Amino acid sequence: MQNEQNDLQDRTKRFALQIIRLFSALPKVTEAQVLGRQLLRSGTSIGANYREAYRGRSKAEFISKCGDSLRELEETAYWLELLVQATIVPPETLGALARECDELIAIFVTILKRPKDTS
């Protein structure tokens, strides 16, 4: 369990770093910067919420913080989609990042289903 926790902590941190690099590379036009700031906020908070989950004092707190991570992932996916659909960033540029976002969503959905199945 400890290895899974560390792996996901590392993975969410790598994801945040990719988001930061993407934000830095966005065009300096208003639309890109507004969407980019939203993306930066949501994409970097996922790992922070996950770390807080493991510092939680109860199972309920753990579930709540993992739920926060999942919500931020869903929001991040939305901003990535908007960047592509607004033709600010080419789809091929975000392909790997969008796939990682989808994989992280699947992981957090699984985490959140686990406690409910055992209750």
User: What single-letter DSSP state applies at residue 57?
Assistant: S
Q: How far is CA 45 from CA 41, 90, 92, 102, in A?
A: 6, 24, 24, 16
Average pLDDT over residues 47-58: 92
**Whether pLDDT at 117 is above 50:** no
**Whole-number pLDDT of residue 119:** 43
Write the DSSP assignment of 73-118 as a string of letters.
HHHHHHHHHHHHHTTSS-HHHHHHHHHHHHHHHHHHHHHHHHHHHH
Are the C-beta atoms of residues 77 and 98 closer than 8 Å to each other? yes
pLDDT band at 118 (very low <50, low <70, confident <90, very high): very low
Predicted TM-score of the model (pTM)? 0.91
- Cα separation, 20 vs 2, in Å, equals 27
Average pLDDT over residues 54-78: 94
Closest residue by Cα to residue 64 from 111, 102, 101, 100: 111
- Cα separation, 46 vs 16, in Å, equals 8
Which domains are seen in the chain, by residue range?
Answer: 2-118 (1.20.1440.60)
